[in-house]
Amino acid sequence: MRRARYWVLLTAVAAIGAAQDADQSPVPAEPNFSGTLDIGNRWLSDVRGDFNAWRSVVNLGEGPRLLNLDFHLGPPQGLEGRWLFDSLNFRSNAWGGDPYNTSFLDISRTGAYRLTVDYRNIAYFNFLPSFANPQIDQGIRLNQRSFDTHRRLYDVQLDLMPGRRVTPFFGYTRDSGFGTGVTVFVADINEYPVSNRLWDHTNNYRGGVRMETKRYHLILEQGGTTFKDDQEILDGGRNPGNRTAPFLGQRLFLDDVLQAYGIRGSSIYSKGILTGNPTNWLDMNLQFLYSQPQTDTSYFQENRGRFVALNNLLFFDGERSSVLAAAKQPHSAGSVGFELRPARRVRILQSWSTNRFHNATRALLADQILLATPLSQETVAFDRLVVNHNEQRLVAIFDPMRWLSLRAGHRYIWGDARVRASAVQPEGLEGGQLRRNVALAGITFRAGRKLTLNTDGEIADGDRTYFRTSLQDYKKLVTRARYQASQAWNFNFRHSILANQNPTRSIEYQFRHWEHAASVYWTPGASKRASVLAEYSRTAIISNLTILAPGMLNRELSYYRDFGHTGTVLADVKLGGGPLAPMITAGGTYFVSSGSRPTRFYQPVGRAAFPVHKMLHATAEWRWYGFAEPFYAYEGFRAHQFTVGLRMLR
């Protein structure tokens, strides 16, 4: 693995070096090449505190790294059209062992092809003790679901004859996840933490054609996906589970368990998008999107130990289960819209959209309790989910003056859904409706290029909503302002507020979210020798909702509070004049919140860049991570991170 890291670094250095050599060769015209290469080594101090929390939040490691590589390559002047490509752009980030690696390639030849390749590898580690154990500090320790997995994404797209009237295109995307984790095996009144293996992938194949004329543009795309999910649990050894007290005098435990999921899925989909501007005063668009995903499931489970079936108070030592299931979900969506410009300064935007899907499923569940005479039971289950969602929007934009835009409109959202009912009526369906009228208004004010002020507001009146916490009667206001006081001073300001309520007596939901944010960017003089960026944001979330507490079924109030302060300061100072003057950066980011889950997260940073040559800089960075949660003090961590590297520019 270590050798592979050095190999990646050497390859990257060689790529830049080769381009520089090409520059020195006697070829009369040099290729159009520009790029940046950052390589370095990262060290980490001992992570003080909870290492699992560190990995869940930051998760950066040590060792040599290709921190960044990006370059553009094109044919020399005069040789355009004679190379296999006219433009090649490549970007790569965090290679050599970092948990987040990305690469992107965009290569094209005018009128012939364009190929893009995107690769991402993102580690997902999540093991926060407090997540399942809010009372761990009282010695109450339970199992939880945790993950140590990776998600990898490959995305390839090839366009042929781009820019011509007819452009065929083909694409392939593969998204896969793999790794291990901890999950829970639930057996009636006890639950057992067990290790599991996760492995899933989705392949997406697509092809289509874009057709364009001066006024119309049509995209027709046909695609399909295949899906495979093979999760597995294979765990052995005496496991007492979360319930440590005997049940009716008997101790319950798990000795071994096998769970094997075999989920296969596929989907076909079709997409058609027509846009056009049949006249200079009308733009129109029409979309039709259809997909029909389906899955087939086979599942097998065998567990041994000591268990109890609550419905007949039967104690037993083993159980086998198998499930065969299938699900289909035809899904169609469409929209029609236009932008009409009846006068020079007036625009009217109208759109209708609909989104419908219908999930129909069936499952055959077979259970066998392993007694002297095995007890078998087979159940057939059906499930449905039917959703119709519609939206109509009308907005008028009026620009009475060059420096002023006014917007006003209306949005109506309506729909209905039928979903599986609660556990008390397991085979039933319950229905919900959505009806919401929203008034929209906005204003944009521009005073030259110095000041821009933008405000948008919404007032909604809903009389039907799907869920207790959904938007119903709400008011929303977002204001943004930008002011360039001088060449050196730039100010940004943002204020937003969202107040939502559902006054239904048994819900009494009150939700309020507001935020003030301001930033200032100071670049004195034109010398670019110093700059300061400062940002500050204050946010608040206040939520009150009446709930029915399980157990005693009494009414309680669910409170949630989050008052956050976030700040960033970054100051750049160039020590001296000239292109080889060192540059120092100092600052950092902090997040401090109070309320339901008080949190402190500090990330101070210091950087230095020492140009050795106009194309070679030595760099150094120090960063400190400090994370603390007063209610969950055991979960905090602190760590220093140092990175030293070289940056090559061209």
Footprint on residues 318-347 left by other proteins (CB under 8 A): 323, 325-329, 331-333, 335, 339-345, 347
Judged by CB under 8 A, the chain residues 381 through 400 that form the site for other proteins are 381, 383, 385, 387, 395, 397, 399
Judged by CB under 8 A, the chain residues 131 through 190 that form the site for other proteins are 131-135, 140, 142-145, 151, 153, 159, 161-164, 173, 175-177, 183-186
Give the 3-state DSSP-derived string for 512-566, with helices as H, strands as E and coil as C: EEEEEEEEEEECCCCCCCEEEEEEEEEEEEEEEEEEEECCCCEEEEEEEEEEEEE
Q: Are 123 and 99 in contact (CB under 8 A)?
A: yes
Judged by CB under 8 A, the chain residues 228 through 267 that form the site for other proteins are 229, 242-243, 259, 261, 263, 265, 267
Nearer CB in complex with other proteins: 3/353: 353
The one-letter amino acid at 466: Y
CA distances from 217 to 210, 336, 509 (A): 7, 15, 46
Figure out which of the listed residues 172, 412, 515, 620 binds other proteins, where binding follows CB under 8 A.
515
DSSP E strands in 110-215: the ranges are: 113-126, 146-160, 166-187, 190-212
Nearer CB in complex with other proteins: 9/509: 509
Judged by CB under 8 A, the chain residues 618 through 647 that form the site for other proteins are 627
Q: Are 477 and 459 in contact (CB under 8 A)?
A: no
- Min dist CB 287 to other proteins, Å, is 6
Segment contacting other proteins by CB under 8 A, of 312-320, 351-359, 574-582, 604-612: 351-359
Alpha-helical segments (H) within 44-174: 51-57, 129-132
Judged by CB under 8 A, the chain residues 355 through 384 that form the site for other proteins are 355, 357, 359, 361-363, 365, 381, 383
List the one residue out of 396, 292, 291, 273 whose CA is nearest residue 335.
273
Helix (H, G, I), strand (E, B) or coil at 66: strand
223 binds other proteins (CB under 8 A): yes
Helix (H, G, I), strand (E, B) or coil at 162: coil
Judged by CB under 8 A, the chain residues 524 through 553 that form the site for other proteins are 535, 537, 539, 545-553
Segment contacting other proteins by CB under 8 A, of 20-28, 104-112, 246-254, 605-613: 104-112
Segment contacting other proteins by CB under 8 A, of 7-15, 40-48, 524-532, 589-597: 589-597
CA distances from 505 to 117, 180, 510, 546, 553 (A): 54, 46, 12, 9, 17
List the one residue out of 624, 621, 619 whose CA is nearest residue 640.
624
Judged by CB under 8 A, the chain residues 1 through 30 that form the site for other proteins are none
Write the CB contacts of 564 (distance below 8 Å, at least 6 apart in sequence): 537, 538, 539, 540, 591, 592, 593
Query: Contact letters (x/-) for other proteins, 112-141, by CB under 8 A?
Result: --x-----x-x---x-x-xxxxxx----x-
Nearer CB in complex with other proteins: 111/575: 111
Figure out which of the listed residues 31, 179, 318, 432 binds other proteins, where binding follows CB under 8 A.
432
User: N- to C-terminal Cα distance for the chain?
Assistant: 30
- Within 10 angstroms of residue 166's Cβ, the number of other Cβ atoms is 11
Judged by CB under 8 A, the chain residues 479 through 508 that form the site for other proteins are 480, 482, 492, 494, 496, 504-507
